[in-house]
A and B are shown apart, each in its own frame.
Chain A
Amino acid sequence: MSQTITIDPVTRLEGHGKITIQLNDQGEVENAHFHVTQVRGFEKFSEGRPFYEMPSLMARICGICPVSHLLASAKACEAIMSVRIPHTAAQLRRILNLAQMVQSHALSFFYLASPDLLLGMESDPKTRNIFGVVAAKPELGRAGVALRRFGQHTIELLANKRIHPGWVVPGGVTEPLAPAKRDEILAMLPEAHANLSMALAAYKQIAASFKPEAEVFANFPSNYLGMINEDEKIAFTDGKLRLIDPKGNILEDDITASRYTEVIGEAVEDYSYTKFVYYKPLGYPTGTYRVGPLARLNIVKSMGTQLADKELAEFKQLATGPVESSFYYHHARLVEMLYGLEKIEELLSDPLILDKHVRATAGVNRLEGAGVAEAPRGTLMHNYKVDEDGKIVWANLVIATGQNNTAMNEGVLQAAKHYVKDGKFTEGVLNRIEAVIRTFDPCLSCSTHAFGQMPLVLTLLSANREVVDQVIR
C-alpha cells in the first residue's frame, strides 16, 4: 500500500507551507510536493488605487523584505511617470536595499538555518532554535543578532522606520540623508565586519561536515537568473537581468523590466498558491530557473568589492561551472552580506550622498510601467497598468519564491528519495527535508502576497492517498 508523508507546517520559513511525500506500494518515494497554502491577493485589491500609493501598499506584502517591494514598485511607478530619479536618490536606495539584504540574510542564516548547521540536523528539536544556538555558540548568537540589528538600524536611520518605511516614493526618496546619520552608519560598520568574519569562519569550519546533505539538497543542473550592472558585477537595485544555462552560458541578456513579459512566463499547479515561473523560450517546466544568492553568485564574475571578491573566488572553487547544490545558498548569503557591508561603506563615502536633490516629480506619462529589484531571496518584478487618471487597472508581481518554486519541489523530491526508506522516516529525516526548503529562504507571504505566521505540515500518504503519518509543528 503506498503512503504519503506530510510535513505541515514546515518550520523556520517566512509564511505557511506544507510538504507532501507520496510513497508507492513498495514504500519508495514516488512524488513530493511543496505546497504554499495561503492566499492574499494584493494584485487584485490594488486595482482602483492611485499608482503613487503602490509602493507603500505593496511593501505591506512582507515584513522582512518590504524594501524590495518598495523599490520594485517605485521603479514601476517611475516608468509610468517616465522620470529618471536624481543620482543621490538612486544611491540612497542602493544603501537601503543592501541594508535590507544584510538584515534578511542575517535572519535566514543565524535564526533559521544555523540551528541545523551548528547543532546538527539530528539534534533535539526542542532546542534546535535560536535559544539552542545561543546556548551552544553564544558568540555567534550575538553576532547574528548584531548583524540583523545593523541592517535594521541602517534602514531606520535612512528611512525613519525599520519596517514598512514610507521614504521610497515614485521619483526618489522623501528626504536627503543627514550627515550625522551617515556617520552613525559608518561607525557601526567595523563591528558588523567583525561579526561577519566570525560567521564566515564558523561556516567554513562546519561546511565540510554537511557534504552528504549538499549532495541531495536540490543538487541538480538548472538555469539561473540575476541582476548585473553595466560592468557585469553584482547589482541589487539598478541593472539588467541575465539568465544563464546549467553550464554557465548566457541564455538571455539585458533583460529590462519592460521586457520581462517577453521572456518570463508564469505557470500554475493545483497544489500550491505560489506560481511557477519559467523562461518562455524553453517552456514550462524545462525553462524553470533559480534566483537568489546562489544564482547571483553563479552569474557574476565579480562582486566589485575587495573582500567579497576574494570570497567569491573561493565560492567558485566549489564547482567547475555553476554551483548546483542549494545547500550553498547559505555560503552565498554570507558572501553577499560581506559585499553589502563593503558597498554601503563605499556609497556612504561619496560626498554626493548628502546632496539635497533626491526627488523628481511627474504625472502619468505612460499607461504601463514595470520595475525590477533584487530582493534578498531573488529577483522581484512589479508591473502595473493605469488609466489616464493614474488609477491601477491591472497589476502583476513576479516574486523570487515563485521563480524558485520548481527547484524547491524538485529539491524536496530529491531529498525525500534519498532519506525516506521503506516508508519510514525519523524526525531528523523530516528536518532535512524541511531544511532543503530553508536553503532557499523562501518567503511564502511574498510568493502568494499573503499574510500569516510560519507553520508547516509534513504528511505521509499511502498509495490510496490515506494519511499514514503527519507532523505538525
Chain B
Amino acid sequence: MSLTPARCLILACGNTLRRDDGVGPWLAAWAENRFRAEAQVRVLSRQQWTPELTEEIAYAGSVLFIDCSVDSAPGSVRLTSVQPATGDQGLATHHLGASELLALGRELYNSLPFHAQLLTIGAASTALGETFSTEVTAALPHACHLIEDTVLHELSRPELSQSA
C-alpha cells in the first residue's frame, strides 16, 4: 500500500446536489476541519463507495462510514457497528455499502479494520437541491458530536488492525 494506513479513517458518501443526501460530504468537511491537526485521521468523501477504497479500509485501524439513510426517521442519527457482508449476494460495481467494502477488503487484502462503524442521518428529502431539510439541519450538531466522540475514542485505543 502506497499510503500510510490511517489510524482512523472517516469515509463519507453522498451527492451534494440531492439535498439531505449531501449530509455525508458536509460532515466529512466538518471532520476534516476538526481533525486537521491530527495526522492519524484521514477523511475521504465520495459520491459513491467503490472497490478502489477497499485497500485503505482494510488496513485502517478503524473506519467510520457516514451516509444518509432513507429508511430512518428524518433527522435521526444512528451509530451502529458494521460487519463484513457475506459474499454470496449480488454485487454492484458502481456502488458498494459499508458491509460489502469490508468484505471485499478482507478478501483482497486479508485484513480488516479493528472497528468499523456506520453513522447515518435519516433523510427527509433527496430531491434536487443544495439545502438540507429542517430535520437534518437540526441533527447536524448531534452528528458532529458523535463523530468527535467516536474519533477521539478510537484515537485513545491502542493502534490495532486485525488479520482476517
Q: Which residues of A contact B (CB under 8 A)?
A: 12, 63, 107, 111-112, 126-127, 129-132, 134-135, 138, 141-142, 145-146, 148-149, 152, 162-163, 187-188, 191, 453-454, 473
How far is B50's CA from A12's CA once the two chains are assembled, in angstroms?
Answer: 15
- Whether A126 contacts B88 by the Cβ 8 Å rule is yes
A203: min CB distance to chain B, Å: 19
Q: Which residue of A lies closest to B88 (CB)?
A: A126
- Whether A454 contacts B94 by the Cβ 8 Å rule is yes
Q: Is B159 an interface residue (CB 8 A)?
A: no
* Residue from the set B89, B90, B92, B93 with the largest chain A CB neighbour count within 10 Å: B93
- Whether B108 contacts A129 by the Cβ 8 Å rule is no
B9: min CB distance to chain A, Å: 15
How many residue pairs link A and B with beta carbons under 8 A? The number is: 59
- Whether B94 contacts A145 by the Cβ 8 Å rule is no
In the complex, chain A residues whose CB is within 8 Å of the CB of B104: 130-131, 134
Q: Is B55 an interface residue (CB 8 A)?
A: yes
How far is B104's CA from A138's CA once the two chains are assembled, in angstroms?
Answer: 10
- Chain B interface size band reads 20 to 34
In the complex, chain B residues whose CB is within 8 Å of the CB of A126: 88-90
Instruction: Please name 18 further chain A to chain B contacts, defined as beta carbons within 8 Å, in addition to the given A63-B48, A138-B108, A148-B51, sorted by A numbering.
Output: A12-B93, A126-B88, A126-B90, A127-B87, A127-B88, A130-B91, A130-B93, A132-B87, A134-B107, A135-B87, A141-B107, A142-B109, A145-B108, A162-B46, A187-B2, A188-B2, A191-B2, A453-B92
- Whether A145 contacts B87 by the Cβ 8 Å rule is no
B93: min CB distance to chain A, Å: 4
B55: min CB distance to chain A, Å: 7
How far is B91's CA from A454's CA once the two chains are assembled, in angstroms?
Answer: 11
- Whether B90 contacts A141 by the Cβ 8 Å rule is no
Contact of B93 among A111, A142, A163, A187 (CB under 8 A): A111
97-128 of chain B: CB within 8 A of chain A? 103-104, 107-109
Q: Which residue of B lies closest to A135 (CB)?
A: B107
- Whether B107 contacts A131 by the Cβ 8 Å rule is yes
In the complex, chain B residues whose CB is within 8 Å of the CB of A127: 87-88
- Whether B90 contacts A129 by the Cβ 8 Å rule is yes
How far is B55's CA from A146's CA once the two chains are assembled, in angstroms?
Answer: 9
B22: min CB distance to chain A, Å: 15
Contact of B51 among A138, A145, A473 (CB under 8 A): A145
57-113 of chain B: CB within 8 A of chain A? 87-94, 103-104, 107-109
